[in-house]
Structure 1
């Protein structure tokens, strides 16, 4: 089986058996195509001929191309999945990538916003403009539910279960999860739906999307970034703020308030608890208060 056939079969496996989202499949295939490009430099025209030493050289090749350690780790994960597939198909007996360790990653903590900074951003919204209520509902939802930007722009009216204070979102890998929604976010979404969205001409196919632009279509990721950038310019906040910053603030504030890490993991939609642990950084004042309150000899 040559590279082209192997990659095509792997793609079908991801689609039909793993039921992965389209973007995830594209990412996997792009990673394997990088391995294919490397294999040509080694005159290896069949993926089953690659050995562990070749994959180790592949990682060095990626490093020489100045691919970041985090991207190297992601690509290696894709390569392992590819060879797991080949093993399932009986093309190989052993996965040559199985025991290769990913590059060590530095866990850089992204910025988070203090509550007063979130309030400053919300207060910068011009509610006299038609998009004001929508933008306030967007910020309250990002912070109140800890959504990814993709989950926000794809939020559906049919998935708002306000009678039980939950919303349903579709996260990475097309996985659905229920998230509690607080009173502030729920209030603003209702106001936006009743006062603004009900009077917006909606294009066919977008009837169930919560957040719409002036043309009656779903908002794009870029538009959410631009909304936040515009609001930030009206404040004194100097941090690098993106939609993810509100998600990070959501998790940080929950944990600072005493929330269980497993509960936060569930709300964020993380498969592994280790992914959630990055959100457990706490400011020095909070750590000092913990020592003062709970250590027997503070």
Structure 2
């Protein structure tokens, strides 16, 4: 997982593919399940969500068939994260809550923290911002207690998004800035880009589209450089919204069409529809 954690997504995908190619057969079932899980989580980072679901579902079947309960719980957690991004919210919730029950049952703070972070993101996407803040804050408390800086950065981003949903803009900005600071210090590229997109969204919500445009442009360059396709789409969507607010409907339409292509490729149909609405608005303004 080192290449993936450090942001080298394409190299990680290549290496996992090589492991799968030589681990066919029942005697390699455990190795195959571990590799499928890691491949699935890397695909999630890369924005290949259908691929992530396919690999994680296969890993889950292998682990449940062999009664490897800890591994199956990890598969459910990662599968729930991918389904959440695909906006399949109810199956995502079922997998995440099942994994959370397991980790609480064995008193695993690391597992509980990871599941609470994901549930915070899920609640946020469903507009349940109070629940999102509750779970995000608890996940962050655990991350700090166990001194896990990588998870701390991720939890800060999740909590920042929840606070942004509640329009607590200063608090949200502070969380995103802290996530970016930690990520830069330790080289957590995915969390850094995520935090920068959050800062761009916060600037937009604060009524500063010029700042949002600049921050989102920097986030987009980083996301494209690391093959973070969904984060790149998120940055493009902020750029489109900012351009529309600054009176540049042509640029807004261009950014939105680029974002739509990426969302559609990842299977994120809800965000693709958001792009369609914005494209219609940009086209209408451009024709005036």
**TM-score with structure 1 length normalisation?**
0.25
Looking at secondary structure, tell me which structure has more helix per residue: 2
**TM-score with structure 2 length normalisation?**
0.26
